[in-house]
Each structure stands twice: as C-alpha cells, then as structure tokens.
Structure 1
Amino acid sequence: MTLAFQLPPEDRESSPYTGYTRAHWEAVADGLLASAWRWSTPGGALLDLPGRPSAAGVRSDGLEGFARTFLAAAFRVAGAGGGDPHGWLERYASGLASGTRTPGRDDTESWPLILDHLVAGQPMVESASIALGLRLTAPWLWKNLDAGVQDRTEEWLRGALRHTPAPNNWYLFPHTVAGFLESVGRGDAETAAVRQRARELLEGWYVGDGWYSDGDGRAFDHYNGWALHLYPVLDAHLAAADAEAYGTRLREHLEGFGLMFAADGAPLYYGRSLTYRFAASAAVGLGAVTGHTPLSPGASRRLISGSLRHFLDRGALTEDGLLHLGWYGPHKASLQTYSGPSSPYWASKAFVALLAPPGHPLWTDPEEPAPVETADRVLALPAPGLLIQSTRADGIVRLHNHGSDHVRPHDGETATDDPLYGRQAYSTRTGPTASGNIADNHLSVEVGGRGSVRRRIHPLGAGGGDGWGWAASWHRPVFTAGPPMVPGLRVESVTVARGPYELRVHRVIGAPTDSRVTHTGWATGPDDSVVSALHALHGWDEGSELLRAPQGTAHARWAQVPRLAGQAGGTTVHVSLAALTAEPLPLEEAVTELVVEHGRVQVIWALDGARSVIGFGPMAVSLLD
C-alpha cells in the first residue's frame, strides 16, 4: 500500500526479514504526527480527528488526539537525545498552554476536567500519556515552560490523583501522573499514596507466568504488555530505580508473549482495544530498552518491526495518513464504545523502542528469526490458563483460551456473547465472527432450541512437554433466550495441541434429554490462504457443515465456519480434531485410532504412534510413547 508519507529505502542487509531500521521507525512516527496535526485547533490543545465520536464526546476525543500523539513525539525526541528536527515539542508546549488555561470550559481549546471514570473519566486515561510525555521530554519541554503553565498543568493533572479510576489498569494512570510530578520535584503525600495504591493492586493482580489480570477476576489480554508491564517497568527505568520484581515479570511474560506474533508480523487478534494494533509490540520494545527480556536484540527488532510493517502494508492508514478505526481498514467489531477517532493512537506505545539510542544492539544487531520461524512450538501457561501453539511451516500462531473471560468476580453471568474473550481459540490469521453471526471456535449446548454461550471460565489446569501441550477448563452454559441456566449443567473442555493439530474434547454433564451440542471451528474467508478443518471423532453426527458469517471478521469481509452437531443428554463426551493451516490436512495423517471409555479419551497419533490420554475428574492429560 502507498503511504501518505515517505519511508527510507529498505535495508535488507541489516534487516533481512522486514527491511526496517531505526530510521523507518522515526519516519513513521514523524509521518503519523504530521498527518494528525493537520486537524489541530488553532492553539494546538486539541486534535479533532475526523470520524465517529466516542461515548466520551468530541472534546474528550480531541484531548485524546493531543495526548496519544504526544506520547509518540516524546519517544521520538527523547530517543534522539532531544533532537527535534520537526519542532514537535514546540507544538505540544503551545497546546499545554492553551488547554490548561481554562479547563472545563466549552470553548475552542480548553481541556475537559478529569473526573471519576463513571462520570466523564476518559481524560484520566489521557493524563497518563501527557504525564509520561512530559517526563520523557522534561529537559527540553517542561523546563522551558513558563511557571504559570507548569502550575496549571500540575493542577489539571492532579485531577487524576483525586478521582476514582476504573477498577483495572486505570489505577496505573494516576500512578504515572504521580511519577512525573515526583520526577520534577512536585511530589507530596498525595502522589506517594496513589503510587503505593497502584503497587499494591498490581501485586494482587499478578497470577504468575509473567501475567497480570486486568483488574480483579480473569482478564488476560494485550493490556498485559501495553499497560500492566509498560507503566511500572518504564517508571523504574526512567527513575533509574531497582525494577527487579517488575523486570523479572516482564522477562517471564516475554518468554510466552514472544511466541504470539506470526511470521508475517501479525499479533494475535484477541481481547479488547485491538484498534491499538502495533502497540502489541510495546512490551517487546520495552524489554529490549531495559534489558528485561529473554529475546535477543535481533529477534526483538524482528518482532517489533514485523508488527509495525504488518499494519502499514495492510491498509491501517487512511489516504491522508491517519490510523483507521479498526484492524486493517475500518472494522466496527474491533471497536468498543470508548473508541473514538484518536483512540488508535495508543499505538504510539510501540515507539518506546526508540528509547534505545541509535547505537543500541536493538538497532545495530542484524535481525534474527522470530520464535514462530524457528520451530513448531506449544507452550502452556497454567497461571492465565492459556495454550500457545505455533507452526513454522505456515507461520501461524493460535491461542487456546481456557482461562480469560473478562468477567469481574461480582458480575453475574449474562447471556451476552463476547467474541473477544468467549471463544475457545484465537489466531494471528483469523478474527472471531461478530456476535450476530454464527460463533467460531465455540461449543454450544442447545436446550429447547436455545443455544448457550460461554462466559465465566474456570481453569482446570495446563501443561505439556516437548512439542505438545494441553489446557482445560469448565464453564456453565448460559442461554441466549429463556431461563438463564439449567441446574447442574456443566461443560468440561480440553484442548491438546500437537504440531498443527488441535484435539478438542468436551464432556457435557447434566444436559436434559434430547439436548443438542454444536461445535464450530475457525472462521475463514473465501479468498483466504488458510484452510479451516474440523473433523468429527466421537459424539457427533456424521460430517460437518459450513455455515456463513456475512459480517465476516477483521481478516475477511465474509466468512464461513465449519460446524459439528450431536445429541446430548445426561453425560456425553464429544471429540473433534481441528486445524488452521496453509494446506489441507487429511484426517488419516493426524489420528489413527480413538477410544472413549470409562471417562477417558485415548487418541493414537499417526505421526509417531504416540498416545494422548485425557482423563476427567480429576483432570489428567498425558502423552505416552
């Protein structure tokens, strides 16, 4: 795709996989900033980008445009040691002066006040980007502001310290504001209190394997990298403080997260706020900058540049250089109510990589293969209940979800389908179907013609060995119409991943007589270069059918989904083999024998004759030679 701004020539000697160098990153940052600043107010306080407004309203959206692009400018200038050839900081200095002059007023420039998250809280999110940008550029911007502008900016920022955040990663926004104020000698008991509060919450949200839950409950998604790791690790790095605890967790997170990028650079399409796109690579860049990473500099650059280029090459920008609201082009199902025209610019967090100066190994070492390009891999993450499966031949990464549901502990289980969390599996080549279409990668119990959805997920374990892995969970089916539940009804699910194959086993307990069970596979488009297979092994009617999803996915304008169906009643076991691959995989090349008896499922793999054994209650999965 032709970009609205010019990039340097590719360097295939230094970057054989992507062609991108540090100069490309600087050029992209400058190009995004130049395109966005065409839509600024005269005083530069708001960037009113064109497009549908968010639920917070157009004034908040304008602040969002200022704050999120400021973060890109700050990484750009700080990484260049204050070098600012395009004069970005002068523009943001003008905007600070204009926006803080009369906060809360309904005029051309004034910023909205920071209030509680349930009232008009979006400015609290943006306060963190402004504070971080000011901290990064303090020697060149903050120290040269008039004292009055400094005082007004502090007073506006302190609204974040005095109001209630949303009960999740939002608590790191006042933490970040307080960190900036302390860094410029304006700390006090108020700043110390919010920082201590955030640290205590982070300890409670940390579950292990390098993963935090985004608030109480089990919400594991991209917010781990671009928020829950980014803010505390970067805070310690900028303060030259001991970051051992947070740094160790980031390193452990990247052990698994480094596997979550496809060979074509795509991150996993999974969780909310996906319109932030290449912000998904922020944790990788942060690890390289701070040294808290298991990845080599060459592999790190391969991942971050691959992700950046992936979206630039696939239409993420409009003709005039603005980021679309969507994934590649516009895509409504990728958005939330808080998504506005400037929301995609949280992608600016990827430019944290520019804090590594030009002579850093991140930029000087040659690119190395990404983890997905080195071998077939299966990695179980028991703490979040996730199973990562990648295949070298096609470069596809799949994520099997047995632990992340985005349902808070005090919330009831509603019958609302949540495609971004409720599906059994996600990948770098497919997106979930929209909630009004047939659900992909989903098991539904049908009682009286009413189908169920999966909401709260209860992990049962995860593990594996060399070249294989498993994860298991149970859920209580919630019905889309009629009564909210059937007493005693429960579904236990196990995924065993081996090579490109996914053995999916479900035990349905307590289903009424004459119930039905349906199970779907991956959603693909008619022109996709990938193949979705779903084979019936046990407990299904003969064969599968293809159903249409006219709203498509983020990867396909129109999609189709394979579906199996079978009878249920009492306790039944249903086994299938799924695959998402570049070439069709005949069933006989995968499995040669299946035995289901006495509460156990045994599968013989055609590849080497090894036997997978799945036992229910208590859960036990093994692979025997």
Structure 2
Amino acid sequence: WPRITDRSQPLVEAASIALALRLTRPWLWDRLDTAVRDRAAAWLADALTAEPWPCNWELFPVTVGGFLAATGHATEAARAARARGLARIETWYAGDGWYTDGPGRAFDYYNGWAMHLYPVLEAHLSADARLLDRHGSRLETHLADYARLFGADGAPLHQGRSLTYRMATTAPLWLGALTGRTPLSPGTTRRLASGTLRHFLDRGAADPATGLLPLGWYGPYEGVLQRYSGPASPYWAAKAFLGLLIPPDHPVWTDPEEPGPAERADAVTALPAPNWLLQSTSADGLVRLHNHGSEDARYDPHYTRLAYSTATGPAPPGAEPDNHFGLLGEDGAVSPRHGLEPLGAGEGWAASRHGVGTARVVSVVLAHGAAEVRVHAVTDAPPGTPVRLTG
C-alpha cells in the first residue's frame, strides 16, 4: 500500500479505512488473523505522525488514532494524535456551533461532514462522555442553523467547495439523531435527509446506465469541481449512510416525517458566526443565503458571492460574476470581493466591508419575506469610477 506521508492523499484514505474497520469490527477486524491485524495497524500508524494540511485534514489522524487506541495498537502515539488534532481545530471554532475550515473564514459544508462529524463520532464510538459533551453540544447548536440550509424540495444550499459530495450534506443530521445531540425532531431529521436523497436521485445524479455518481451536481458538471476532485470524489456521498448506524426501531425511522424549516413559514435568520443572513419563503420552498462573512478566493465562485440559493448555482469561473458588486478598472475588469471584513448580522440584515486598492466598499442587505434590498457605499475611489452590480 502507498506510504502515509505528510499531507499525502493516503492519509485521507487511512482515515476512511480506520473508520470502516471500527464500525464493522465484530464482523471483520476481530475475525482477522493476528498477523493481518498487525500489518494493517502498522500501515495505519504512519497516519499518527503524518502532518495534515491545516484544515479538516487535522481530523484524519484523530480518526485513525481512535481506532488504533481502541484495538490496542500504538496506543501512546494514537492517543497523542487524537489529542493533537482535536486541540488544533479549537483555533478554528468561531462559536455558535460554527467552524471555519482552517485559517481564514471558509464557512461551508465541511462544518457538517467533517468538523463536527469526526469529533462527535469519535466521542460516540469511544464512549467518551466528556468529549461528547463538548463536541455534541456544538453539533446540537449547529444543527439548529444547519437545518435551514435545505430547500423544501430537498436541495442543499449551493455554496462552498466539494459539492460533488452531494448527499454527504445529510451526515450531520443523522449524527445528531445517532448521538441524541440534536434540536430537531426525529420526523424533521428524516424529512431533511430523505428529501435530499430524493432530490438528487430524482434528478439523475446516479448515472442510469451504471448507477454510479459522476463528478458533478445532478449529472456531470465541471462547475462544482475543484482541482483536487477525482473520479472517486463523489463517493464521499457515502457519509449519508451514517443513518444506517441508527437502530431500526429508533423514532427517526418510525415517526412520520415532519416539514423542514423552509416548508413551515417565511423566515429571515441571522447567523452571526459566519456573518450570514438566511432568507426562506414557504410559498416556493427556496432558501437564499446572503453572504457577508465567508471567503476563500482559492475556490471562487463558491465563497465570495453576495448570495447563494437552493435553486441556483454561481456562474462558473471565467463567466461574468453573478451576485457581485465591483469597481471597473480601466481595462473593464471588475474588482474581486476579497479581504472581506464582517460588520455584523442581526434581525433582517447583514453587512460587510472590503477594499479595492485605496477604495472601500461597504455592503448591506435587508431582507423581509421574499423581498431584499442591497445597498453598496463606495468611498475613497476616484470620482467617476464606474461600478457593476449583478444579480
């Protein structure tokens, strides 16, 4: 097998293998010969000292360490890796149940399918009550916001990177039900999760000829891919199977489905940690995200647009930027929205500021029902500087 070295792809696979072996331990690991177990553990052990990228990758050694400690292999190094990774992600906790995926302000679905998933699952599998209390309470807080990111038709909000993982967006919903750390009723949890699964399958996400998930959103679509996306990337959607860890007699399976937040009533919800404003309308079931706090220029256009929704995706790279306000240069190029400074989010509003050379742009959105008003104030720009606003 390939060596697990610093910031290498095998570190990712090692975490998945360790988690799979842990979840199936009575049926697989415990039935292997001792020599086979020792060889597998020796390969996995390199993940304990391999340096991850400074992002959700910090949790891959945690996952491997949890498994090896549970099976009595390299226990000292395993516990050290577990503690180190959990300590490192603390610097990225923004409060109110929200993490940024590494330094900066990269708020996205990695909150649910990584930053909450691995620590809470580790606490659950290790029966670590103290760890579960810490990270489970954060998950519970997060899910109150997270449930609002799904449209009435099951569509997840089209924002952030790695969207080709599709149904993986349901993983934290199942995790909350599995561990009892959720503010959602069992019927709401299943409604959101089953709605998302139906949303993708009903729109051809699985290739009808092969049954495989292609790189894309529904069918193949390069607009949601990043340079690290590969043929197997869509199979992080397997995180949606987390719900199968929940016993069949659990209320999440036996209770009737209940409407999700976007189906119940119009709502405008401020999320101060990411500095977002969520706007949903029950008549059409749409959710809109007004973004005044998320930024990751490496993966534009999925982070710095003024707004995203459950019914639209951003224009692909190279196209005229949508949902954007910028100053026009002498060559006609529109300025980017980088160096975003959140100015706050409250009842029906959110605001941010960013610089363009010596100029400053302050942007504010007001939302009520289905209506929204955007205001942009430009200061310290040369007189007559043209601007461009797109919807």
Bin for the TM-score computed over the shorter chain = over 0.9
Q: 1:126 aligns with which of 13, 22, 40?
A: 13
CA shift for structure 1 position 113:
1.7
Match of 2:292 in 1: 402
Match of 1:262 in 2: 151
Identity of aligned residues (%): 59
1:432 equivalent to 2:314? Answer yes
RMSD: 1.2
Match of 2:191 in 1: 302
Match of 2:201 in 1: 312
Offset from partner CA, 1:181-230 (integer Å, 9 cap, x none): 01112242211221111121122111112101111211110000000000
Supply the distance in 2 between the matched residues of 1:512 and 1:441 (Cα, whole angstroms).
Answer: 24
Equivalent position amino acid for 2:317 in 1: S
Greater helix content: 2
Tell me, what secondary structure is at the counterpart of 2:381? strand
Offset from partner CA, 1:416-473 (integer Å, 9 cap, x none): 7810111110000000001211111000111323320112211001111xxxx21111
Offset from partner CA, 1:279-321 (integer Å, 9 cap, x none): 0111111111111111000000000000011101111111211
Matches within 5 A, 1:99-498: 103=1, 112-117=2-7, 121-242=8-129, 243-318=132-207, 319-406=209-296, 418-448=300-330, 449-464=332-347, 469-477=348-356, 486=357, 488-498=358-368
1:514 equivalent to 2:384? Answer yes
Tell me, what secondary structure is at the counterpart of 2:308? strand
Supply the distance in 2 between the matched residues of 1:502 and 1:144 (Cα, whole angstroms).
Answer: 60
* Unaligned 5+ runs, structure 2: none
Q: Does the aligned pair in 2 maintain the 1:279–1:347 contact within 8 Å?
A: yes
Q: Does the aligned pair in 1 maintain the 2:45–2:74 contact within 8 Å?
A: no
Matches within 5 A, 1:574-613: none
TM-score normalised according to structure 1 size = 0.61
Match of 1:550 in 2: none
Supply the distance in 1 between the matched residues of 2:260 and 2:217 (Cα, whole angstroms).
Answer: 22
Tell me, what secondary structure is at the counterpart of 2:35? helix
Supply the distance in 2 between the matched residues of 1:127 and 1:406 (Cα, whole angstroms).
Answer: 27
Supply the distance in 2 between the matched residues of 1:517 and 1:320 (Cα, whole angstroms).
Answer: 48
Tell me, what secondary structure is at the counterpart of 1:514? coil
Supply the distance in 2 between the matched residues of 1:305 and 1:450 (Cα, whole angstroms).
Answer: 44
Offset from partner CA, 1:26-83 (integer Å, 9 cap, x none): xxxxxxxxxxxxxxxxxxxxxxxxxxxxxxxxxxxxxxxxxxxxxxxxxxxxxxxxxx
Supply the distance in 2 between the matched residues of 1:370 and 1:445 (Cα, whole angstroms).
Answer: 40
Tell me, what secondary structure is at the counterpart of 1:491? strand
Supply the distance in 1 between the matched residues of 2:390 and 2:44 (Cα, whole angstroms).
Answer: 49
* Unaligned 5+ runs, structure 1: 1-102, 104-111, 408-415, 478-485, 522-625
CA shift for structure 1 position 370:
0.8
Q: Does the aligned pair in 2 maintain the 1:387–1:400 contact within 8 Å?
A: yes
Bigger Cα displacement from structure 2, 141-150 vs 448-457 = 448-457
Bigger Cα displacement from structure 2, 153-162 vs 424-433 = 153-162
Supply the distance in 1 between the matched residues of 2:367 and 2:264 (Cα, whole angstroms).
Answer: 18
Offset from partner CA, 1:265-292 (integer Å, 9 cap, x none): 0001111000000101111111111111
Supply the distance in 1 between the matched residues of 2:206 and 2:333 (Cα, whole angstroms).
Answer: 41
Tell me, what secondary structure is at the counterpart of 2:380? strand
Q: Does the aligned pair in 2 maintain the 1:417–1:453 contact within 8 Å?
A: no
Supply the distance in 2 between the matched residues of 1:203 and 1:165 (Cα, whole angstroms).
Answer: 15
Supply the distance in 1 between the matched residues of 2:363 and 2:21 (Cα, whole angstroms).
Answer: 48
Supply the distance in 2 between the matched residues of 1:194 and 1:182 (Cα, whole angstroms).
Answer: 10
Match of 1:576 in 2: none
Supply the distance in 1 between the matched residues of 2:333 and 2:279 (Cα, whole angstroms).
Answer: 33
Tell me, what secondary structure is at the counterpart of 1:207? strand
Supply the distance in 2 between the matched residues of 1:450 and 1:357 (Cα, whole angstroms).
Answer: 56
Supply the distance in 2 between the matched residues of 1:299 and 1:192 (Cα, whole angstroms).
Answer: 37
Equivalent position amino acid for 1:421 in 2: Y
Q: Does the aligned pair in 2 maintain the 1:226–1:282 contact within 8 Å?
A: yes
Supply the distance in 1 between the matched residues of 2:387 and 2:85 (Cα, whole angstroms).
Answer: 44
Q: Does the aligned pair in 2 maintain the 1:210–1:251 contact within 8 Å?
A: yes
TM-score normalised according to structure 2 size = 0.97
Supply the distance in 2 between the matched residues of 1:451 and 1:253 (Cα, whole angstroms).
Answer: 35
Supply the distance in 1 between the matched residues of 2:143 and 2:270 (Cα, whole angstroms).
Answer: 14
Supply the distance in 1 between the matched residues of 2:165 and 2:290 (Cα, whole angstroms).
Answer: 22
Tell me, what secondary structure is at the counterpart of 2:383? strand
CA shift for structure 1 position 510:
1.1
Equivalent position amino acid for 1:286 in 2: L
Greater strand content: 1
Offset from partner CA, 1:209-259 (integer Å, 9 cap, x none): 210111121111000000000000011111122111111110110111101
Q: Does the aligned pair in 2 maintain the 1:417–1:435 contact within 8 Å?
A: no
CA shift for structure 1 position 147:
1.5
Tell me, what secondary structure is at the counterpart of 1:430? coil
Equivalent position amino acid for 2:78 in 1: T
How many pairs were matched up? Answer: 387
Offset from partner CA, 1:132-185 (integer Å, 9 cap, x none): 111111111000112222111111111211211111000100000000001112
Match of 1:590 in 2: none
Tell me, what secondary structure is at the counterpart of 1:378? strand
Supply the distance in 1 between the matched residues of 2:57 and 2:35 (Cα, whole angstroms).
Answer: 28
Match of 2:369 in 1: 499
Supply the distance in 1 between the matched residues of 2:20 and 2:128 (Cα, whole angstroms).
Answer: 19
Equivalent position amino acid for 2:142 in 1: H
Question: Which entry has the higher C-alpha Rg, 1 or 2?
Answer: 1
Supply the distance in 2 between the matched residues of 1:386 and 1:209 (Cα, whole angstroms).
Answer: 13
